[in-house]
Each structure stands twice: as C-alpha cells, then as structure tokens.
A and B are shown apart, each in its own frame.
Chain A
Amino acid sequence: MNRYQLIESLVPILEDTLVICNIGIPSQELFSICDRDNHFYMLGSMGLCSSIGLGLSLTTKKSVIALEGDGSVLMNLGSLATIANRSPENFVLIIMDNGSYGSTGDQATYTSESTSLAMIARGAGCDNVIECSGIDTKELLGDVLQQRVPSVIVSKIDPGSQPLPVIPLHPIILRERFRSSIKS
C-alpha cells in the first residue's frame, strides 16, 4: 500500500473530523481523491503540519487529525514533545511513514534505515503510540476516534506518489471554507 491508497482508505472516516494535511503531494493526493471543506491543505511551511493540528485541537471539541509524513515530522521533532505534554483528547497525529521524501523525488529518509518515529514519539512522552501497516490504519484510526484518546499512529507504507497538479485553491478561500466547517 502506498500513500495514495492509504489516503483513499481513510477518506470515509475523515468526513466528521478536521484534517490538516501535509504540504506537497500528500495534500495534492487528498485533494484529488476527495476535496471537502474540512480539509486544510498546507500550501507552504514545510514541517509544521503536526503543529498546526495541535494548535487547532486546543480550540475545538471536534476531532482533529494531522495527516503527516515521516520526512516532515523529522523536520520538527520538538513538536512530538509538545504534543506529548499538551495534546487534548481530540487530537490524532497520523504519520504516513513511507521512508521517503515523497514530494521532492523520493529520496530516502532515515526511517528507511535505523530510525523509528514510534520510538521517538514514545520517548517524547506520547502515551498512545501505535505502529501499524497501511492496511490496518483505517480500523485503528476509527478506534482511537471513538475512544477519544490523544494518539500517534505511525502507518508503515511503501514509497511512491501520484503525479498530480498543484492545488488550485486561493489560500483565503481555503482558510474561510475550513473555518466554516469548524463551526458547522
């Protein structure tokens, strides 16, 4: 299973949540599979997906999902410590770990060698850290959303991306429609 297939499998349960999606191809894939108002596609600010998700989760009772990548999390590891200590019950961090910088030409990340993001997250103090296959991710995500426990899911998938165009939405339109989905 690659990232496109993983996102495709998760889309049905993302409907009732607020989704912050990682910059680049992950956002383009989510946008092309299913575009909804409750998706915030990061158009810039490499590495900050988990942080935007945490900040939002502190302001709402709705479930917030940060749809992250392994390369992106490696750029902002301090975020895992903040999440471990301050995450509310409605925040779930999903790391789509394909061991690859997928948006920049599939260069290998260190998670394809010795580095375990699940162990880093546990070391940071995150309580509920689940490492699983791409195929099992949907069911496990459904469980943690129902239990409302702050969670980090490291979903191990294969590298490879869909060639897709840049998202054609104006940032302010994207921001405003996302905001109205928070209120609805």
Chain B
Amino acid sequence: MKNRISEQLISALKAAGVDFFVSVPCKLLSGQIQLLEGDSSISYLPVTREEEGFGICAGAHLGGLFPCILMQDSGLGNSVNAIKSLIQFFQIPIVMLMSYRGSPGEPVPAQAPMGWLTPELLRLMQIPVLHCHHRQDIADIGPLVSHAWVTQSPVAILIDFNLMEQN
C-alpha cells in the first residue's frame, strides 16, 4: 500500500512534466526515492542539504528541465533565503514534495515546533500549497504542478504524516 502512494506521487509529478529530481532523505520518502533511483526516464541525484538542492534545481532549470525537490518540511527552514533570493527572484518553477513530519502521527517531538510553523511559513513566503490529507488529494497534483510552470514559481505539496505512514 505504501508503495502505491509513492507510485501515485511520482507518476503524477512525471505526468505533469517534472523530469529532474533531487532528494534530502526522509524515512517517509524512502519509497519515492527508491522509485527515482531506478527510473532512467528522469534525472535524479541525492543532495546533502535542502539549500544545496535548491541551487542544483535552479541550475537544472536554467538548462531547461522542470525540477522537484523531495524533502522534510523541516528543510523549509533551512532554505528560506535560497527560495527567496534565487528561486522566486529569478522566477524558477520548482515542485517541493514535502513530508509533513510535524503533523499528527509524528513520533519525534522535536519535529513539532517547525511543523506548527510550516503552513504559515509557506503562506508568508507566497508559495502555493497542496496539502494532502487523504489519498484522493493526490489527484490535484497535476494542476498545481502546471501552475508552477505557468507562473514560474515554486509550489509545495505537503503530505500528512498519517497519509504517508498508514496507507
């Protein structure tokens, strides 16, 4: 079942035109990362930290590709300046696929304080968000990803801990 969510997410992103992926690891994203590692139809590389990932994605987009970064929501805090002064300043479309580690179900207490901030921080940063609570929400990924391309902006897909963990 877990794999099915991963497959659903990755195929929705690919179908919407995303062809370049980087990841900072997350236990909840391991299924997606495994799929990307074995997919020769797209480019994929692991990065050491979110900020670096935004830099690599910006470069890939200058070269014409449509990038996506897989990250935990805590990584948003590591990347505020890169998103503002590189991604939004140069108007680079990018999809942020974020596991919402701070949401209910998360067993690690330290994830919660950043998690409480995540939705409001995304709003303050003027990043359009699709918050997926249920499996059927994933169907809305296509229009959000197209919106990123049309508006040349970053967009975020925030996936609840329980959706990633229990399905």
Q: Do A and B come from one complex?
A: yes
Using Cβ atoms and an 8 Å threshold, which residues of chain B touch A142? none
Question: Scoring B residues 36 to 59 as 1 if CB is less than 8 Å from chain A, else 0, what string do you get?
Answer: 000000010111110111111111
Which of A42, A53, A58 interacts with B43 by CB under 8 Å? A58
Q: Is residue B109 contacting chain A, with contact meaning CB distance below 8 A?
A: no
When the two chains form their complex, are residues B59 and A54 in contact, meaning their CB atoms are under 8 A apart? Answer: yes
Using Cβ atoms and an 8 Å threshold, which residues of chain A touch B86? 42, 44-45, 48, 52
When the two chains form their complex, are residues B43 and A172 in contact, meaning their CB atoms are under 8 A apart? Answer: no
Given A48-B54, A175-B90, does the pair A40, B48 have CB atoms closer than 8 Å? no
For the residues of B in contact with A, the DSSP-based class is helix
Instruction: Give Cα A100 to B12, complex, Å.
Output: 47
When the two chains form their complex, are residues B91 and A53 in contact, meaning their CB atoms are under 8 A apart? Answer: no
Which of A20, A43, A81 interacts with B59 by CB under 8 Å? A20
Given A82-B47, A86-B45, A175-B91, does the pair A56, B84 have CB atoms closer than 8 Å? no
Given A43-B85, A44-B85, A48-B82, does the pair A182, B48 have CB atoms closer than 8 Å? no
Which of A44, A45, A47, A175 interacts with B62 by CB under 8 Å? A175
Using Cβ atoms and an 8 Å threshold, which residues of chain A touch B61? 55
When the two chains form their complex, are residues B56 and A51 in contact, meaning their CB atoms are under 8 A apart? Answer: yes
Distance in Å: Cβ of B79 to nearest Cβ of chain A: 10
Q: Is residue A59 contacting chain B, with contact meaning CB distance below 8 A?
A: yes
Q: Is residue B81 contacting chain A, with contact meaning CB distance below 8 A?
A: yes
Q: Which residues from 134 to 184 on chain A have a C-beta closer than 8 Å to any C-beta of chain B?
A: 171-172, 174-175, 178-179, 182
When the two chains form their complex, are residues A58 and B90 in contact, meaning their CB atoms are under 8 A apart? Answer: no
Q: Is residue B65 contacting chain A, with contact meaning CB distance below 8 A?
A: yes
Distance in Å: Cβ of A180 to nearest Cβ of chain B: 11
When the two chains form their complex, are residues B89 and A43 in contact, meaning their CB atoms are under 8 A apart? Answer: yes
When the two chains form their complex, are residues B59 and A51 in contact, meaning their CB atoms are under 8 A apart? Answer: yes
For the residues of A in contact with B, the DSSP-based class is helix
Distance in Å: Cβ of A75 to nearest Cβ of chain B: 9
Distance in Å: Cβ of B93 to nearest Cβ of chain A: 12
Given A59-B64, A171-B91, does the pair A78, B52 have CB atoms closer than 8 Å? yes
Q: Is residue A76 contacting chain B, with contact meaning CB distance below 8 A?
A: yes
When the two chains form their complex, are residues B90 and A55 in contact, meaning their CB atoms are under 8 A apart? Answer: no
When the two chains form their complex, are residues B85 and A55 in contact, meaning their CB atoms are under 8 A apart? Answer: no
Using Cβ atoms and an 8 Å threshold, which residues of chain A touch B62? 40, 52, 55-56, 59, 175, 178-179, 182
Distance in Å: Cβ of A25 to nearest Cβ of chain B: 17
Q: Is residue A79 contacting chain B, with contact meaning CB distance below 8 A?
A: yes
Distance in Å: Cβ of A39 to nearest Cβ of chain B: 12
Instruction: Give Cα A59 to B56, complex, Å.
Output: 11
When the two chains form their complex, are residues B84 and A82 in contact, meaning their CB atoms are under 8 A apart? Answer: no
Task: Please give me the 6 A-B residue pairs with the lowest Cβ-Cβ distance, nearest first.
Answer: A55-B59, A44-B85, A59-B63, A51-B55, A78-B48, A48-B55
Known contacts A56-B60, A178-B62; can you find 17 more A-B pairs with CB under 8 A? Answer: A20-B59, A44-B89, A48-B52, A49-B55, A51-B47, A51-B58, A54-B59, A55-B59, A55-B62, A56-B62, A57-B59, A59-B65, A60-B63, A79-B52, A82-B46, A172-B91, A175-B91
Chain A to chain B contacts (Cβ below 8 Å), 14 pairs: A44-B86, A48-B51, A48-B82, A50-B55, A52-B58, A55-B56, A55-B57, A59-B65, A76-B51, A78-B47, A78-B48, A171-B90, A172-B90, A182-B63
